[in-house]
Amino acid sequence: MQFRHPKHDLYIPDQSDPWTALRRVTHLGIVSHQDDLEIAAYHGITECFHSKDQWFGGVVVTNGSGSPRKGPYEQYTDEEMQQVRLVEQRKAAYVGEYSFMVQLGYPSEDIKKPNPPTVEDLKFILEHAQPQILYVHNPCDRHDTHVATFLRCLEALRQLPPEMRPKAVYGCEVWRKLDWLLADDKVMLWVDKYPHLLRPLLGVFDSQISGGKRYDLAEEGLRHANATYFDSHTTDKTSLLTFAMDLTPLVNDDSLCPIEYSVNYVQRLENDVRDRVTKFM
């Protein structure tokens, strides 16, 4: 199993044959950076944890070289940080019992260019894994690399025949949360199956936490907040909830423009705000 970038890393926690590890995947996450999977695709990780017939696979596209660093990592070079983050991502894959973990190792700037080799690698993974559910960045995210990664995933998906594409594709929360979506536009992913798993998954990313970003605490609090604030007139049905955007139509219909599809969500929010305020003027 060979990928285009010479610094790619393939890790299989249970040491299965690589082709077996790839083809048994039912839930796949494709993200930009180390620790994005554990935030964006946490639903898929917990759905497959300890399961005999469902497997989670992870793909991180970039090398993590531009990450902020403080404390014990303050003097680390970009090369040293890349190695630290690669090992941290492997640890998370072991804790979460992933089927496989691929880190493609591309610089962020490469992902933002037209027709990058990343698309070929993503197509290879998608056509051999053929996951039922795919977790990607949402196109309304405010991180440039996340949006570029989403577009590269869409390009790869649209190169596959329809029968090989996932049944569901979710655009997930990382740097722009999705609580602003209208209730009918939200995909609600319950993540209370293994409530103890989030902290150890994110806790292995010490280079981020020691660097002053307490993602472990922030993400746990966010999930509790999502569950409580989802609806003002009903009691909570779950204690931990994450939101996603349904991107399946973009994968089922190649004629849909991702720009228009994304902006329509914003326009529906605008109309909702306008109508609500107007109603009481």
- Domain membership of residue 1 (yes or no) is no
- Ramachandran region of residue 65, left (φ > 0), alpha (ψ -120 to 50) or beta? alpha
Record the tokens describing residue 140, joined without a space: 């309304």
Tell whether 88 is covered by a domain: yes
> Does residue 3 fall inside a structural domain?
no
Residues 111 and 153: beta-carbon distance below 8 Å: no
Task: Say how far apart CA 67 and CA 200 lie, in whole Å.
Answer: 21
* pLDDT on residue 225: 86
Q: Count structural domains, the chain.
A: 1
On whether residue 156 sits in a domain, the answer given is yes
pLDDT at 143 over 70: yes
CA angle 203, 188, 58 (to 5 degrees): 45
* Of 32, 13, 201, 4, the residue nearest 100 (C-alpha): 13
* 55 band by pLDDT with thresholds 50, 70 and 90: very high
- Output the CA angle 90-187-129, nearest 5 degrees: 40
Query: For residue 69, is pLDDT > 70?
Result: no
pLDDT band of residue 255 (cuts 50, 70, 90) is very high
- Looking at residue 48, which CATH number applies to its domain? 3.40.50.10320
The whole-angstrom separation of Cα 147 and Cα 25 is: 24
By three-state DSSP, how is residue 27 classified?
strand
Q: Which domain holds residue 240?
A: 9-279
Total-model pTM: 0.94
Measured distance CA(181)–CA(162) in Å, rounded: 28
215 band by pLDDT with thresholds 50, 70 and 90: confident
Which of the residue ranges 93-97, 148-152, 220-224 would you say has the lowest mean pLDDT? Answer: 220-224
On the question of pLDDT at 132 being above 60, the answer is yes
Tell me the average pLDDT across 258-270.
97
Structural domain contains residue 264: yes
